[in-house]
Structure 1
Amino acid sequence: MVPPPKPSKADLAAAVHKTVPDLVAPQLKVLFCGINPGLYTAALGHHFARPGNRFWPALHGAGFTPRLLKPWEEHELLPLGYGITNMVERTTNAASELLPEEYVAGGQRLARLVQQYTPQVVAFLGIGAYRSAFARPKATLGLQPERLGNSRLWALPSPSGLNANHQLKDLVALLLELREFVETPR
């Protein structure tokens, strides 16, 4: 597949009015849930599209994908049993622009999506978004005691290049724990 052209400044400015469609199917192993689309991602129309984002390298490094996928190859996740959504659909330059009530509304939207598609695990890529949306201020990384419908919940750090608290190797290790959990028969 041919990569889309790099967005221009005008494309980025116009992206604030765009959303990125959910990549979802019934009974996924994992539904990855980002915080919200950034301008670059929305301009391209593909999840985690900004070049500095570590989602795709971390996903591959943890063994979720047989090769390093590009954002515009995201549909290759569905046959593997993985999908992507966002907590908040609104595009911003930075997640810090989101309002608390947007996280709560996003959590409600996510609950409806999970009820409809019943993924085995919902993996939040941004523990702060999870804490805000579900009023879990003390949530820690990893498996959560709560469920969303019948789906297990897993909190992870944001893979954004702006998140300096966790490096790629950290993200790979945390995603590997998730993959092992999902692949272990229960």
Structure 2
Amino acid sequence: MTRSTPRPVHPQFLERWSPRAFDGSVLDEETLLTLFDAAHWAPSAFNYQPWRFVWALQGDANWDALLGLLVPANAAWASKAGALVFVLSDRLFVSPMNGETSPATTASFDAGAAWASLALQAHAMGLHTHAMAGYDHARAPDVLGAGERFKVEAAVAIGRIGNREDLPEAMQKREFPSPRKPVEEIAFAGKLTEG
């Protein structure tokens, strides 16, 4: 399936998608650090940069712990990714003016911008990413060292695309770039007109 749009959107947005079929090859640490470098240039409120990343490379000492957080259906295919990353956000904002802390009201939004930057950098490097909400939300904060301060936002599999035929049949049918709602269903002039 080829994505298209009637507007002059940069091709990277149409070409980037989230496969489940990875080839099992390992990523090197420098490649992963390049993705984090791209992510850390994302915009954030007061330039606070509330995102954090906890990562493991395929087969390293942290791999089993991070893979073990995924729900079984996700772990089955994500086990062939080259890296696993968990995206976290800081729940506290520390004022650059006076050092006072307050709840970070835009941390999830800002972490989402960092994740999008990481995904687009991965695409530019010939890699693929697939973000997941399917992980053990109760255990993740402890395993990842998040404590009460950091919110675990999502898990991300990163790697080189593999063969669709290696997936279970039900997943093979969904292994293509997904469509999007028309812009008119998500953008409203002046006031939201649904719900």
Per the normalisation by structure 2, the TM-score is 0.28
Identify the structure with the greater helix proportion: 1
Q: Which has the higher contact order (CA 8 A, sep 6+)?
A: 2
**Bigger CA radius of gyration:** 2
